[in-house]
Amino acid sequence: MVIYPVFAILDDRTLSVYASLEEVQRDLEVIDIDAGEYAFFDARGRALRPDVIPPVFSKHGRFIGIGGGELKGFDIGDGPPLIERLSGVFHINDNSYFPDVPTIVSFLTRP
């Protein structure tokens, strides 16, 4: 079971924090999630694997359309934990939980 908040690290080393699945669905594009541009972690620091219905690509003459797709949720993944990825974080987007990396480390290492 995934425990929120969920952390998302974009491939540009920016970290965002989401209080719910609905926030992730609202703020991130399925095509980017499906392309692997984000690494996700739950509140315990465990790597997550997004459960995605991929978007559909269609071609009409010279035009390519992208539609549909949905993030259904997350499963526990098998990648390295968040605490091992924090040294590569360049920026933390504004959120109501964690102002900086040391606060995240404290949260993840609490008893």
pTM over 0.85: yes
Do residues 5 and 17 lie in contact, with contact meaning Cβ atoms separated by under 8 Å?
Answer: yes
Predicted local confidence at residue 94, as pLDDT: 96
The ranges assigned to domains in the chain are 6-99
Which of helix, strand or coil describes residue 108? Answer: helix
Give the phi and the psi of residue 43 in degrees, each rounded to 5: -65, -15
Which residue shows structure tokens 């980017």? Answer: 32
Residue 59 scores a pLDDT above 80? no
State the average pLDDT over residues 46-54.
Answer: 95
Predicted local confidence at residue 67, as pLDDT: 66
